[in-house]
Structure 1
Amino acid sequence: MTERIFCDRLPNGVRVLTEEIPYVLSATVGIWVAVGSAHEPPALSGACHALEHILFKGTRQRSARDIAETLDAVGGQLNAFTDKEFTCYHAKVLSEHLPLAVDLLCDMLLNSLFRPADIRLEKRVILEEIRQIEDEPDELVHDLLLQRMWQGHPLGRPVIGTRGTVRALDRDRLLEFMSQHYTGDRVLVATAGNVRHQDVLAQVSDLLGELPPTGHPSTLPPPRSVPFTRRVTRDTEQVHLCLGVPGYSQLQAERYPLAVLDTLLGGASSSRLFQEIREKRGLAYTIGSCALSYRDGGVLAIYAGTSPDTADQVLDLVRQEFDRVLDEGVQEREVEQVRSQLKGSMLLALEGTGARMTRIAKSQFYFGRVIPIEEIVRDIDRVTTDDVNRVARAILPAENTSVVVLGPRGKGLRRRRA
């Protein structure tokens, strides 16, 4: 697979990264800022997410409605997201409209008004978003797991913040935070699609070339995982279970064997937990695993939603599967199948320009280069059964396991202490 990827750095540190894909009609562009919830001081928890909202509320040239209509008018899409390590403002358009999308995103980044009335309005919206998350137990239980596993570490904080910290945000605090972190050395403009890198580079240089160059360092210590068990009472029909064990960071070679272990345990409908808990026993509709990986740490999480009467049984079955992997090891046939599955799913996901843009941006941020797809395929192919068993022995022992149980007290659910 031939990839046409180009990267240049402006004098102020802004990186311009482009994958030229001449056979598609679209282009996706993202302005990535290397700041997320993990870089916020505790008193400003939720500031990155609030900034993401407020940049849609109007600039010197465009009203909030103008921002919404600019790409709608050409059939494009405009959105943004905040994560623990990044904030990204992105747009997808037909390639002929890419200059319009770049101009819009840069205008939002440079010229947002931060009117007090808009900030008050968006704070109300975010408080409603917090309430919505609290009403979505399958999402909430993952947040609770990370908060407690990484207690006291910035990676453990919720991206959205808390009611208290969101209410305390004001114009001066947000502008100061933005001036400290939205700097040239932290900005990456990534584009994938039917575009020319030199055209994107010229426009970005013109629009972002004067962005202040230097920000504050954003290094974090690795998080220490503290095993725990916590029960949270909620008036829900199901009990929502989330088990977590320490994983690996994006920078550790073990991330590839962990990806195999994750997929083998609960990453697909053929996985061990899906087959045992859903297909064989009918104890859950949703059962699966997810390997979360950041620059400074990671977690392997198992989630299941089940009835109160079967919650203990599901927890026991997950633990039994962990123990079976530890006692018997995984088999070569399983590892071979999962390697093929990982390669196929990765390549299928990269058919869209949005996924291609995200891939090159994250690779550049984490590794300082875009890792070629062929290299990733080779690294997956190099994962052996011994590698997977070694990772399993390191992370799956019972003394590493944390558990969050969220739901009604329910008969048959053993009392678990925090």
Structure 2
Amino acid sequence: MELKILNACLIITKRTTVRQKAEGTSERNVSHQVKYRNALASQLSKLHSLSYKDAIINMPETQVTTMRNGLRVASEDSGSLTSTIGVWIDAGSRYETEKTNGVAHFLEHMAFKGTGRRSQLDLELEVENMGAHLNAYTSREQTVYYAKCFTKDAERAVDILSDILLNSTYGPQEIERERGVILREMQEVEQNMQEVVFDYLHSTAFQGTSLARTILGPTENIKSIKRDDLISYVREHYLAPRMVLASAGGVSHEQLCSLAEKYMSKLPTTVPGQFPSLGGCRFTGSEMIYREDSMPFCYAALAVEAVGWDNPDNIPLMIANTLIGQWDRTFGAGVNAPSRLANVVGWGDGCQSFQAFNTCYKDTGLWGVYIVADDVAISEVISHVQSEWKYICREITDEEVERGKNLLRTNMLLLLDGSTPVCEDIGRQILCYGRRMPIHELDARIDVTFIFVISVANSKNYANFSGSERRRLTKSLHALHIRSRYCCCWRWQNGSNGSISIDARSDDVVAILT
């Protein structure tokens, strides 16, 4: 016998343990079993199903507490057996100088190479014996150290993270060993064309500012970074008010605050001299071309200046980004893809793939499309992209906007599947917004009007693509192409201001700055 309790109802079902003979089973019994199973399925669906609105409102709440030293503690308790606990630091390559570019990423590599309390071997053995996973990464604005572990081992995870932040030794031998590792990593990154294109995109779109620098730093800096540079960067940027201790999983907020007080109360709160500040950022509409005949395709990024994390225009831009979508020639949709741009480029053989992107920083961003295409087809593909942008500004329908909203909701909820992405979302939002935006609030922001999307698109000059308006476009449009065996020639007329004609041949590198 099998007992199932559903609310106040007790349902008893018989489980057959021996093979029934066919001649002994009547049609009436079979019919009764089918009806019973259908009725049971109907009851289960009513008992366990929630509407979308009810589900997002009932999601676990994110609690935030600021400790006495300025450290912010944020957690979401879902009651699970595993948890992700990490420290998000408001420090990345954007806070570096030309001389120190690469130090933040170098520190990430040195994090697990030993502390005053644990050697590298002791640290690795402790993490492995816990069955945990310890990792770190660096971006242009943030540095992150986090651990995935059983909820019962939360205290040991916080202890290890605090030990790394407060007591790392940065031994000379480890520094030299990691120097070689980073140089090899740079060689691998140079083989990833998308990484290369986006580094070039930042270097020319934000030229002369801190966002133009790469995360890994130049080779010369990697070869010359010393222990004093690492210690100086930690003292200047690893401050409690610039950190967030975040957790997602089964750790309660009270427990996390208690662990923060026990292990992270000694984090420094101030730095001698001037407090580190985020340098201003300036967008420069420009074009950069690099030719390499050995490449099989042209890799390009076409982008305009977008907005920062907390700008209300960010959500409409995300919807527009979703409408453009992504496409690859291996996709089976062909010319029946939901993206209009995919339907257009899918007819020809020139475009290999494209992917829309919306990269946000604190006070600015980049919104555009990454393209891989044959060299002779890149101009046509870029023209299709510009036409799609113009379509979004002038002709998009309510049905298309609604589809973009729903797809954006789906994508964002899928990205929050698991304790690690939830923890990352908590840490990032606390640093960017100063709070964790509830899912139901985010859903309400997505549910913007059709007119709002159009007004945001037009305010960014996304529709200026042809004729005498081409020069206006270059003030907000940034293009980067890596071309293969391609002779480039741009020429456009600008009324009484005369014409501009630029030819790029051989190995010329041309930048158009307006």
Corresponding position: 1:152 with 2:208: yes
Give CA deviations for 1:119-175 in whole Å, capped at 9, x if unaligned: 122122112222221121121001101110000111221111111222221011110
- Structure 1 partner of 2:451: 386
- Structure 1 partner of 2:437: 371
Write the distance in 2 (CA, Å) between the matches of 1:75 and 1:285: 42
Mean Cα displacement is larger for which, 402-411 or 188-197?
A: 402-411
Write the distance in 2 (CA, Å) between the matches of 1:166 and 1:355: 31
- Structure 1 partner of 2:3: none
- Structure 2 partner of 1:252: 311
Corresponding position: 1:5 with 2:62: yes
Q: Which of residues 350, 364, 380 is equivalent to 1:313?
A: 380
Write the distance in 2 (CA, Å) between the matches of 1:306 and 1:67: 46
CA contact (8 A) 2:73 2:260 kept: yes
Q: Which of residues 164, 181, 184 is equivalent to 2:240?
A: 184
Give the SS at the match of 1:273: helix
- Structure 2 partner of 1:17: 74
Write the distance in 1 (CA, Å) between the matches of 2:278 and 2:433: 16
CA shift at 1:191, angstroms?
Answer: 0.4
Write the distance in 1 (CA, Å) between the matches of 2:437 and 2:288: 39
CA contact (8 A) 1:227 1:402 kept: yes
CA contact (8 A) 1:273 1:287 kept: no
Write the distance in 2 (CA, Å) between the matches of 1:142 and 1:413: 23
Write the distance in 1 (CA, Å) between the matches of 2:71 and 2:90: 11
Give the SS at the match of 2:417: coil
CA contact (8 A) 1:16 1:190 kept: yes
Q: Which of residues 356, 360, 363 is equivalent to 2:422?
A: 356
Give the SS at the match of 1:125: helix
CA shift at 1:16, angstroms?
Answer: 1.4
CA shift at 1:95, angstroms?
Answer: 1.3
Give CA deviations for 1:83-136 in whole Å, capped at 9, x if unaligned: 111100011112122222222111111111111111122122112222221121
Give the SS at the match of 1:176: helix
CA shift at 1:221, angstroms?
Answer: 4.9
CA shift at 1:69, angstroms?
Answer: 3.4
- Structure 2 partner of 1:272: 340
Mean Cα displacement is larger for which, 265-274 or 335-344?
A: 265-274
Give the SS at the match of 1:301: strand
CA contact (8 A) 2:85 2:246 kept: yes
Write the distance in 1 (CA, Å) between the matches of 2:489 and 2:443: 44
CA contact (8 A) 2:194 2:299 kept: yes
Corresponding position: 1:65 with 2:121: yes
Give the SS at the match of 2:351: coil
Mean Cα displacement is larger for which, 60-69 or 113-122?
A: 60-69
CA contact (8 A) 1:130 1:162 kept: no
Task: Describe the shift of the 1:249–1:267 C-alpha distance in structure 2 as closer, same or farther (beyond 3 A).
Answer: farther
Root-mean-square deviation (CA), in Å? Answer: 1.9
Give CA deviations for 1:5-61 in whole Å, capped at 9, x if unaligned: 222222211111111111x22100111111111111221011111111111111122
Give 1 or 2 for the bigger CA radius of gyration: 2
Corresponding position: 1:29 with 2:85: yes
Write the distance in 1 (CA, Å) between the matches of 2:338 and 2:86: 35
Corresponding position: 1:41 with 2:100: no
Write the distance in 2 (CA, Å) between the matches of 1:412 and 1:228: 15
CA contact (8 A) 2:283 2:305 kept: yes
- Structure 2 partner of 1:347: 413
- Structure 1 partner of 2:402: 336
* Equivalent residues, number: 414
Give the SS at the match of 2:130: coil
Counting aligned pairs with the same residue, the percent is 28
- Structure 1 partner of 2:50: none
CA shift at 1:267, angstroms?
Answer: 4.9
Query: Superposed, which structure 2 residues align to 1:386-405 within 5 Å?
Result: 386-395=451-460, 396=462, 397=464, 398-399=473-474, 400-405=476-481
- Structure 1 partner of 2:469: none
- Structure 1 partner of 2:175: 119
* TM-score, normalization by structure 2: 0.77
CA shift at 1:181, angstroms?
Answer: 0.9
Bigger relative contact order, structure 1 or 2 (CA pairs below 8 A, ≥6 apart): 1
Give CA deviations for 1:262-281 in whole Å, capped at 9, x if unaligned: 1112357632323322x333
CA contact (8 A) 1:311 1:413 kept: no
CA contact (8 A) 1:267 1:290 kept: no
Unaligned ranges ≥5, structure 1: none
Give the SS at the match of 2:285: coil
Write the distance in 2 (CA, Å) between the matches of 1:312 and 1:6: 50
Write the distance in 2 (CA, Å) between the matches of 1:377 and 1:37: 32
